Structure 1
Amino acid sequence: MNNKSLKKVIFGTQPITIEQVVAIAQGEVEVALQADQDFRARIQRGAQFLDTLLDREGVIYGVTTGYGDSCVVPVPLHQVEALPKGLFTFHGCGMGKHFDAAETRMILAARLQSLCFGMSGVRFELLERLCAFLQHDILPLIPEEGSVGASGDLTPLSYVAATLSGKRQVLYQGEVCESAQVHQQLGWQPLVLRPKEALALMNGTAAMTGVACEVYSRAEYMLKLATRITALNMVALEGNVQHFDERLFLAKPHLGQMQVAAWLRDDLDVTETSADQELFCLNGLHRLQDRYSLRCAPHVLGVLADSLGWLRTFIETELNSANDNPIIDAEQERVLHGGHFYGGHIAFAMDSLKNLVANVADLLDRQLALLVDTRYNHGLPSNLSGASKEVAMINHGFKAVQIAASAWTAEALKNTMPASVFSRSTECHNQDKVSMGTIAARDARRSLELTEQVAAATLLAAKQGVWLRQQQGSLSINARLVQMLDEMSETYQPLLEDRALEYELRHCVEQIKQQHWSLYA
């Protein structure tokens, strides 16, 4: 990924993008708060308005009442200061593994940007401390499991509120330590959260939105990588490039589908002249149409390409919104009780994305199956083995890799069941319809991980297939494909006799995750 143009991300009144959140997660940019007095005053007005209401003993959900179903329980003014601490304390019941460092940075960024909207009733000091956590890379240890996605990510985000208050544990300078210890080391006083501040931190969609930014970025790259792998497989399998003819796709002009076909034409040097040569002769047979995993690759990948636009809109709208409750409108001096913590848009986006990427896994898995099978690979050795004739019978090439890729694909396909339809009534039926957005985001991330594994397997097999085809005689390949294959050859040598490929597969998956190869402008 190239984020050289993203020198600094400013949190404030201007929207931020998925790319900026990803750059923050990868430590590629500095972060800062908008510095002007108008912005500071706008934030402070919300907190001051709440103080004014408290002086009048106004009834404010989560400030002078209990939470959730306990909203009918009044909290006397002398107990109001204790309420925020109680909220993040009793929500400290998360389970499962912790979000990794990059995801935690995304979660902090998403929460900070939402609070910068200026309708959450928090002090400017809270924004400064949240920004300082990002600047000093102080990362709360946030368990992944325990959110139903409404009232927002309460349990995961309680770990943000708690660590800002000097409670629980953080990852700092590579070590897990107590938040209070880090505050002391930096000469900071832990925050004493004011009325509404714990609720403003917790009652939002930052965990699911942060993970959604990561998943989107990886899926966008997977679209391009799957297209490049398809091009390599077209070369290895001597496919019919006429399938990607520009005039053909003008007859069904889905824009993303057309873009994928255009990328393939560029990679395969398809011209009007080459497209006219639609009859291939191999072993005396004419082959007009490749199998669907090659011929229909633009149609499969095009669905993902055409969906990225609205997926981005859903995610970035959520990212740049006030998504807690109640909303504090200091300008009109109103407290608006609503349900902006509901993560339905993120849930639907993530449920949709895991379906889209599982289809990519299935496409690449089918291409890999063609590569290893002598009935369909048009003269390549069985299982792509590069072994000499003398030892060919005891070498099995990519046989096991194809089996493993099939297993990963099956798991990705199994994972396409939408999480958002599994709403559960919680909290004494106060939260009786919930989004399951965080579960959907975690599911989508898992589907991406599996698809990246399938892509790594198919990419290494495609490289082997092209190499084997080169051994059979002269082969004309586009310069971009040659450059990528040459770069890969520094790490991934041709498979002559069998070797365990786990390390190479893991290394390739990591390169995919880091978006190592530059693919298409």
Structure 2
Amino acid sequence: MTQNVPPTLILFDGSPLQIEQITAIAQGQARVQLSPDPLFRSRIQRGADFLDRLLREDGVVYGVTTGYGDSCTVEIPPALIPDLPHHLYAYHGCGMGRFLTDVETRAVLACRLASLCQGMSGVSWALLQQLEHLIEHDILPRIPAEGSVGASGDLTPLSYVAAVLCGEREVLFRGQVVPAAQALQDTGATPLRLRPKEGLALMNGTAVMTALGCLAWQRADYVSRLACRITAANVVAIAGNAHHFDETLFAAKPHAGQQRAAARIRGDLVVEAQLRNSHRLQDRYSLRCAPHVIGVLEDALPFLRQLIEAELNSANDNPLIEPDEERVLHGGHFYGGHIALAMDTLKNTVANIADLLDRQLALLVDTRYSQGLPSNLSGSQGATQPINHGLKALQISASAWTAEALKQTMPASVFSRSTECHNQDKVSMGTIAARDALRVLELTEQVLAAMLIAARQAVPLRERIQPDVPVGPAMRAWIADLAGRVALVEEDRALDRDLHQLLSGIRAQTWSLYAD
């Protein structure tokens, strides 16, 4: 949690939430509170009461009086109905892979609470309070990342949330992995006994993929902004033509995101001072077309926000319980196709940013294209110059990270599998797409870290050749900040510590970039 800054309080009352609110909760910068409004609480309670009445009147409700999935034809004897939710999260306890991080887990809890607060899931007020308690006391279920096909939602990973609410399985609490029951006891809570339908309400939804999607979106937005700043630095370093980013030029092709990227880069440059480079009419595509590449991501982000936030603010389990009309609505809102599309699109556009910057670095280190910069951006000037290799290996590593990011861009959504006795015969793969997107972001952020070292190296080396190199004030302040973080590479040294430090800065979004 940010030091000395009181966390924001975010009210959960069924009103629309934004990506930034989920990420603030996930990063420990905001607290969660269920609305005290009696009307909100009454809506939640009416759904639970309606379900109770249906059970008394022998109503048939999927997952309440029947088995789950393909077993929906199995009628559950009334005496066994209270045990059915326990069986749902018990048999779904088969997740594998890494555990979700602290940040990811908080986002999952917040997303599930947001959905249940729509008042269409037939859950009790006590269930919402227990979820609120987990977030408030940072009791984080240990959720394996793998095992969801994205319909019927994130069943297996969310079973770990359901189990923890009932005092089962393990949590991360105060820095230690402990039994869930212990963490609940230590914070004054008691294990929940799930009511009919509450197992489905918790598990039969898209909270994991949506949570990861929120986090991925925010990181991608920052990647886009930082890519603009790095591109501007590389234009300066390579003595490029700043007129490639002319406002009139970009008015002729009015993609808003592309225009925004060009304006950011243009604002970092001193365009009129670049007239001395007018003999070089056209730079290579990785510089000249940078707004066109970054602009694709910029133009995608508002659309992807729409998809992610619509999912975030939806009731996405099955069946839905409409408390006002007293209807049970059987459907398929657990299907995560919109998140799958968002994440498949995001990973493609982000990987293209990695590729763009990798190509820029290839120009900077190669004396055939770098307009007088030393080979491999080596800062060595003394007798040891012949044995110094500058950023040669860094460029190789950046290329490796880029290649792996590009390899990850195969759409996950096209790999639908028929599962669960052909009941789930068309599934979204949204959670796999979201995990892929996060991996592409990790790799792209590593390329960005390499490019920060290159920018810190290349601009001062250009100034050795051209002392009056034109640099905008924001760019100059940013280069000075980098110089305070990373020493100029004059004699060969290992760069991994610098990379890790810069990577932490990227993920913490250390640099404030552009006002748009």
Q: TM class by shorter-chain length?
A: over 0.9
Matched, 1:333 2:333: no
From 416, 421, 426, give the equivalent of 2:419: 426
The two structures have a TM-score, normalised by structure 1, of 0.97
Q: Map residues 263-274 of structure 1 onto 2, 5 A cutoff.
A: 263-270=264-271, 273=272
Cα deviation per residue 1:24-81 (whole Å; 9 max; x = unaligned)? 0111112101111100000000000000000011110000000000000000111000
Matched, 1:499 2:493: yes
CA distance in 2, matches of 1:294, 1:91: 50
Give the aligned partner of residue 158 of structure 2.
Answer: 157
Deviation at 1:99, TM superposition (A): 0.2
Q: Map residues 107-506 of structure 1 onto 2, 5 A cutoff.
A: 107-270=108-271, 273=272, 277=275, 280=277, 286-472=279-465, 473-506=467-500
Conserved? CA contact 1:351–1:444, under 8 Å: yes
Deviation at 1:488, TM superposition (A): 1.6
Cα deviation per residue 1:242-295 (whole Å; 9 max; x = unaligned)? 10111101111111100111111111033xx557x3x726xxxx3110000000
Q: Map residues 17-28 of structure 1 onto 2, 5 A cutoff.
A: 17-28=18-29
Deviation at 1:187, TM superposition (A): 2.8
Give the aligned partner of residue 30 of structure 1.
Answer: 31
CA distance in 2, matches of 1:274, 1:461: 23
Q: Describe the SS at the equivalent of 2:145.
A: strand
Give the aligned partner of residue 61 of structure 1.
Answer: 62
Cα deviation per residue 1:299-334 (whole Å; 9 max; x = unaligned)? 000011011111000000000000000000121111
CA distance in 1, matches of 2:100, 2:440: 16
Q: Describe the SS at the equivalent of 2:243.
A: helix
CA distance in 2, matches of 1:83, 1:511: 47
CA distance in 2, matches of 1:309, 1:518: 20
CA distance in 1, matches of 2:14, 2:32: 14
Q: Describe the SS at the equivalent of 1:454.
A: helix
Give the % identical residues.
61
Deviation at 1:188, TM superposition (A): 1.8
Q: Describe the SS at the equivalent of 2:328.
A: strand
In structure 2, relative to structure 1, the CA distance for the partners of 1:5 and 1:289 (3 Å cut) is farther
Instruction: Specify every segment of 5 or more residues in structure 2 that has no aligned partner in the other structure, as ranges.
Output: none
Cα deviation per residue 1:152-173 (whole Å; 9 max; x = unaligned)? 0000000000000000000011
Q: Describe the SS at the equivalent of 1:32.
A: strand
More deviation in 182-191 or 46-55?
A: 182-191
CA distance in 2, matches of 1:412, 1:164: 37
CA distance in 2, matches of 1:243, 1:216: 28
Cα deviation per residue 1:396-452 (whole Å; 9 max; x = unaligned)? 000000000000000010110000000000000000000000000000000000000
When the two structures are aligned, how many residues end up with a matched partner? 513
Deviation at 1:233, TM superposition (A): 0.3
Conserved? CA contact 2:273–2:470, under 8 Å: no
Deviation at 1:490, TM superposition (A): 1.6
CA distance in 2, matches of 1:467, 1:173: 45
Give the aligned partner of residue 87 of structure 2.
Answer: 86
CA distance in 2, matches of 1:457, 1:515: 16
Q: Describe the SS at the equivalent of 2:485.
A: coil
CA distance in 2, matches of 1:462, 1:2: 29
CA distance in 1, matches of 2:2, 2:26: 14
More deviation in 453-462 or 422-431?
A: 453-462
Give the aligned partner of residue 103 of structure 1.
Answer: 104
Conserved? CA contact 1:347–1:419, under 8 Å: yes
Query: What one-letter code is carried by the residue in structure 2 that aligns with 1:490?
Result: G
CA distance in 2, matches of 1:185, 1:314: 39
Query: What one-letter code is carried by the residue in structure 1 that aligns with 2:411?
Result: P
Computed over aligned residues only, the root mean square deviation of the Cα atoms, in angstroms, reads 1.5
CA distance in 1, matches of 2:468, 2:490: 20
Query: What one-letter code is carried by the residue in structure 2 that aligns with 1:12?
Result: D
Query: What one-letter code is carried by the residue in structure 2 that aligns with 1:183?
Result: L
More deviation in 442-451 or 387-396?
A: 387-396
Conserved? CA contact 2:219–2:441, under 8 Å: yes
Deviation at 1:512, TM superposition (A): 0.5
Conserved? CA contact 1:385–1:395, under 8 Å: yes
CA distance in 2, matches of 1:237, 1:36: 60
Give the aligned partner of residue 77 of structure 1.
Answer: 78
The two structures have a TM-score, normalised by structure 2, of 0.98
CA distance in 2, matches of 1:185, 1:513: 32
CA distance in 1, matches of 2:323, 2:14: 16
Deviation at 1:392, TM superposition (A): 1.3
Conserved? CA contact 2:270–2:470, under 8 Å: no
Conserved? CA contact 2:354–2:444, under 8 Å: yes
CA distance in 1, matches of 2:313, 2:232: 38
Conserved? CA contact 1:69–1:430, under 8 Å: yes
In structure 2, relative to structure 1, the CA distance for the partners of 1:436 and 1:202 (3 Å cut) is same
Q: Describe the SS at the equivalent of 1:490.
A: helix
Deviation at 1:6, TM superposition (A): 7.4
Conserved? CA contact 1:6–1:20, under 8 Å: no
Give the aligned partner of residue 43 of structure 2.
Answer: 42
Q: Describe the SS at the equivalent of 1:287.
A: coil
Cα deviation per residue 1:210-230 (whole Å; 9 max; x = unaligned)? 000000000000000000000
Deviation at 1:186, TM superposition (A): 2.2
CA distance in 2, matches of 1:491, 1:312: 33
Deviation at 1:389, TM superposition (A): 4.1
Q: Describe the SS at the equivalent of 2:32.
A: strand
